[in-house]
Amino acid sequence: MKLVALHGFTGSGADFEPLASRLAVPMVAPDLLGHGDAPDPVDPRAHRMSAQARRIAAEPMEGPLVLLGYSLGGRVALRLWPLLRDRLAGMVLIGAHPGLTDPIVRAERMAADQALAGQIEERGIEWFVDHWAKHPIIQSQASIPVSIRRSMQARRRANRAIGLANSLRGAGQGATDPVWDDLADIPVPCLVLSGQTDHKYAEICAATALAIPQGQHEVIPDAGHCAHLENIEATTSVLSTFLAGLSV
């Protein structure tokens, strides 16, 4: 069994190293398009969820596989699992949203993401990293152990403006069709995690788990949106129990 871990916006596959080192299951953690060492397609449409999913599915990975997706990576996982159905043993979603269903809310989010993408290109990565750190959902990352947080920050600053800008344009929440209706078709056990202080996503994650036939929602104590790094030990414990219970 192998974990396929997909990181969040501005992140990198290397963000999962603290978790991977504590788990007994091997992990592969690719960089998503526009991030880290992955390509930066100049056409925002190349960043769409379908393109991200096809790119990862094309990697030579033998099953059984367990998808683990955080935030943006969770949204990718929710589009990727059908392409890996014959190799899939389970799924783990951390602070992931199946999509905005209200067209007005989606349009507003898309407009906000488009505006932010333009600012990233105009003002640069240094400005954006400082700006992003002040976002309410990101502020709880101050509780991540200092050495890990500094490494994450360094990787964020190594991203390219065009990559993050086009990731927002092509794979942002507003640009992505919702998949709530597809959750009932997920054929494997799915662990849905949210942080105790991430009140917005606690409700979303609970609803997501309820819609998945073999879904279960667990709350990570003393953690926010980035629960797996804000409370590594608690997340490791919950994950280890889940993985041990999978039939492979």
Res 142 pLDDT > 80: yes
Res 189 pLDDT > 80: yes
CB atoms within 10 A of CB 21: 10
More confident residue, 133 or 236: 236
Query: What is the pLDDT, as a whole number, of residue 137?
Result: 87
The Cα–Cα gap between 208 and 76 comes to 15
The Cα–Cα gap between 225 and 228 comes to 9
Q: Are 30 and 57 in contact (CB under 8 A)?
A: no
- Give which of 98, 244, 101, 103 is closest to 185, Cα–Cα: 98
Mean pLDDT of the chain: 95
Strand pairing report for 88-94 and 27-28: unpaired
Res 237 pLDDT > 90: yes
Query: What is the pLDDT, as a whole number, of residue 42?
Result: 87
Q: Name beta bridge partners: 193.
A: 94, 218
For residues 93-102, average pLDDT: 96
Residues 6+ apart with CB under 8 A from 198: 95, 137, 140, 223, 224, 225, 227
% of the chain beyond a pLDDT of 70: 100
Q: For helices 103-123 and 125-133, what crossing angle results, to 10°?
A: 130
- Burial (CB < 10 A; 0-12, 13-18, 19+), residue 137, is middle
Band (pLDDT 50/70/90 cuts) for residue 9 is very high
The Cα–Cα gap between 219 and 38 comes to 32
For residues 166-177, average pLDDT: 94
Band (pLDDT 50/70/90 cuts) for residue 24 is confident
Res 247 pLDDT > 80: no
Res 114 pLDDT > 80: yes
The Cα–Cα gap between 156 and 177 comes to 27
Which pTM was predicted?
0.95
- Concatenated DSSP letters for 74-117? HHHHHHHGGGGGGGEEEEEEES-------HHHHHHHHHHHHHHH
Strand pairing report for 65-70 and 190-195: unpaired
Query: What is the pLDDT, as a whole number, of residue 60?
Result: 87
Res 221 pLDDT > 90: yes
Band (pLDDT 50/70/90 cuts) for residue 118 is very high
Order of strands across the sheet with 190-195? 27-28, 2-6, 65-70, 88-94, 190-195, 215-220
Q: Are 69 and 15 in contact (CB under 8 A)?
A: no
For residues 26-39, average pLDDT: 95
- Burial (CB < 10 A; 0-12, 13-18, 19+), residue 5, is buried
% of the chain beyond a pLDDT of 90: 89
Give the chain's domains with CATH numbers: 2-244 (3.40.50.1820)
